[in-house]
Amino acid sequence: MTLNVTRRHFLAGSAAGATMLLGRPAFAQSKTLNVLSHLVHQNVLTKGNAGDVIAPWRETEGAEISWTTLDSNPLQDRLFREASLNQTDFHVGYVIDNRVTPEIAGLFEPLDSFQAADPIEDFDDIAAGLRSAMTVGGKLVGIPVRHATQALFYNEALLEEAGVGAPPTTIEELVEQAKKLTFTSKAGTPVVGMTLASDLAVFPVMFARAFGGDFIDSEFKVVPNREAMEKGLSVLADLFKAGALPRSYATTRNDDMVTWLQQGRAAFGVLPFARFAQLNNSEQSAFPGKIKAVAFPGSAGGAEMAAVVESWAMAIPANSADKELSWSFIKAVSSKAVTLGAARNGNGPVRVSTYADAEFSASQPLAKIEAATLAKARPAFPAFPEAVRAQATFLEEVQLAVLGRKSPQEAVAAIVERVTPLLPA
């Protein structure tokens, strides 16, 4: 038998021998897991009320995590470019549900074999609708990790000051209250009834759904109920005309809405339930404990309201190395313990059991409302190759209607005409 000993093998063997002589266990060489995500994904795992909940995994694996964080759209573009190369240095990427077309799904490693060999704890506990969104062509390509289900937030102190006894239970009441809450508060702050961002389809879709409508349904029909969409846009245009939406509506973004609510410059806002802790943070908010939430209301006409939900999943690029380490990370993040910890840090938990956890419920008073809303929620639109372009076109027409430059009827007709050619054949 011939024994070939290289310098590397010799040094490794010597080190191991020295460790054994010292009576200490040998540790694996330090590894680095490269993750491409949004900053919020890093933060909910590493800081907050529950602290650094991914630290045990790092210690067990002897691995460090190198985070590269970008805003949502640049993140998706970067991830898809990386996954299209011959090889990428990223081990795990966070992907949004409405971007996972069949073509995009093909860029990622199918996870069924990993799940079969080394399954995630109580996988069926993860909400079925979220798992379904990550199953493309019968293959599991992502593990849900975060959902953002939209709620109607309101400033209880401002409602009381304006003589509004309770938050609205219908969209009609919401419009009435938003107009009444467009005033100057006792503190001298000009208040608008509602703040909404103009750069996401979430918000006009919510208003259309309040009347039983939608933007694009699961069968890829654009505006399946024109009358409902026209009503939704009419409501938004009416709020803007009445001054109950900010004059800066056309340039308002998500983070702006958070600031307006925290500062008492807006009475209502539509944001994910997970924003509750941030909105009531005593170091950031002028109204800690006074910003509350309810499910976004439907019309008094009885249409069932389906809130918009957006979900993120962890995926492994098919061209990446060390997929076993990637799966180990995904499995750890998906565990009940880490899901709970991340939820306490502000994440939208994907596990049904998390909402029933006494510790979580005690720190998250919206848990029951969120769970009930999530049960009926669905994405703003299904995934398809031209989805980004379709959303941009939709928002362009919505903005024209809200600002009064087109009638709602004209805007809806243009949405149908311009978006239909972008849909799958």
Are 414 and 273 in a shared domain? Answer: yes
Give the pLDDT mean for 217-234.
95
CB 312 within 8 A of CB 96: yes
Q: What pLDDT sits at residue 26?
A: 36
- The total domain count for the chain is 2
Note whether residue 297 is domain-resident: yes
Give the pLDDT mean for 393-407.
98
Are 283 and 157 in a shared domain? Answer: yes
Residue 387 has pLDDT above 70, yes or no: yes
Q: What pLDDT sits at residue 93?
A: 98
What's the pTM? 0.77
Cα 168 from Cα 152, distance rounded (Å): 9
Are 219 and 231 in a shared domain? Answer: yes
Residue 52 has pLDDT above 60, yes or no: yes
Residue 279 has pLDDT above 90, yes or no: yes
Are 134 and 225 in a shared domain? Answer: no
Residue 212 token pair: 């039983």
DSSP annotation of 47 reads S
Give the pLDDT mean for 412-418.
98
Helices 226-241 and 408-419 cross at an angle (nearest 10°) of 130
Give the pLDDT mean for 258-265.
97
Q: DSSP string of 358-422? A: HHHHHH-TTHHHHHHHHHH-B-SS---TTHHHHHHHHHHHHHHHHTTSS-HHHHHHHHHHHHGGG
CATH code of the domain covering residue 223: 3.40.190.10
Which of 21-35, 175-189, 362-376 is predicted most confidently? Answer: 175-189
Give the pLDDT mean for 2-24.
38
Are 112 and 235 in a shared domain? Answer: no
Q: What pLDDT sits at residue 346?
A: 82
Are 418 and 389 in a shared domain? Answer: yes
Are 188 and 258 in a shared domain? Answer: yes
- pLDDT tens for each residue of 152-182: 999 999 999 999 999 999 999 999 999 999 9
Residue 7 has pLDDT above 50, yes or no: no
Residue 281 has pLDDT above 70, yes or no: yes
Q: Which domain holds residue 195?
A: 149-308+380-422
Give the pLDDT mean for 384-391.
91
Q: What are phi and psi of 79, to 5 degrees?
A: -60, -45
Note whether residue 11 is domain-resident: no
Note whether residue 7 is domain-resident: no
Q: What pLDDT sits at residue 130?
A: 87
Q: What pLDDT sits at residue 15?
A: 40
Are 265 and 364 in a shared domain? Answer: no
Note whether residue 351 is domain-resident: yes
Cβ atoms within 10 Å, residue 101: 16
Range in 19-28, 141-150, 168-177, 193-202 with the lowest mean pLDDT: 19-28
Q: What pLDDT sits at residue 208?
A: 97
Are 79 and 136 in a shared domain? Answer: yes
Residue 392 has pLDDT above 60, yes or no: yes
Mean pLDDT, the chain, rounded, equals 91
What is the Rg, in whole angstroms, of the alpha carbon atoms belonging to the chain? 24
